[in-house]
Amino acid sequence: MSAQAQIKRQTVVDIVAHKNGQPVVMLTAYTAPMAKLFDPHVDMLLVGDSLGMVLYGMDTTLPVTLEMMIAHGAAVVRGSQQAMVVVDMPFGSYQESPAQAFRNAARVLSESGAAAVKLEGGEEMAETVEFLVRRGVPVVGHVGLTPQHVNAFGGFRSRGRSEAEADKIRRDAQAISDAGAFAMVIEGTVEQLAREITASVNAVTIGIGASPACDGQVLVSEDILGLFTDFRPKFVKRYADLASTVSDAAATYADEVRSRAFPSAEYCFGVKKG
**Per-residue pLDDT reduced to its tens digit, 154-178:** 445 666 678 999 999 999 999 999 9
Which has more confidence, 219 or 150? 219
**Domains with residue ranges and CATH for the chain:** 3-240 (3.20.20.60), 243-274 (no CATH)
Terminal C-alpha separation, the chain: 47
Q: Which of 187, 191, 196, 222 is catalytic?
A: 187
For Cα atoms 176, 179, 213, give the angle at the middle one, nearest 5 degrees.
40
Is-catalytic flag, 187? Answer: yes
Give per-residue pLDDT as tens, 183-218.
999 999 999 999 999 999 999 999 999 999 999 999
Which whole number is the average pLDDT over 31-41? 98
Instruction: State yes or no: pLDDT of 33 exceeds 60.
Output: yes
pLDDT attached to residue 158: 67
Long-range contact set of residues 63-68: C-beta below 8 Å, sequence gap at least 24: 64/88, 64/90, 64/91, 65/90, 66/90, 66/93, 66/104, 66/107, 66/108
Per the annotation, where are the binding residues for Mg(2+)?
A: 49, 88, 120
Using DSSP bridges, classify how beta strands 139-144 and 204-208 pair: parallel, antiparallel or unpaired.
unpaired
pTM beyond 0.85: the answer is yes
For Cα atoms 30, 34, 37, give the angle at the middle one, nearest 5 degrees.
145
Average pLDDT in the chain = 92
Cα dihedral sign, 152-156-161-166:
positive
Per the annotation, where are the binding residues for 3-methyl-2-oxobutanoate?
A: 49-50, 88, 118
Instruction: State yes or no: pLDDT of 2 exceeds 80.
Output: no
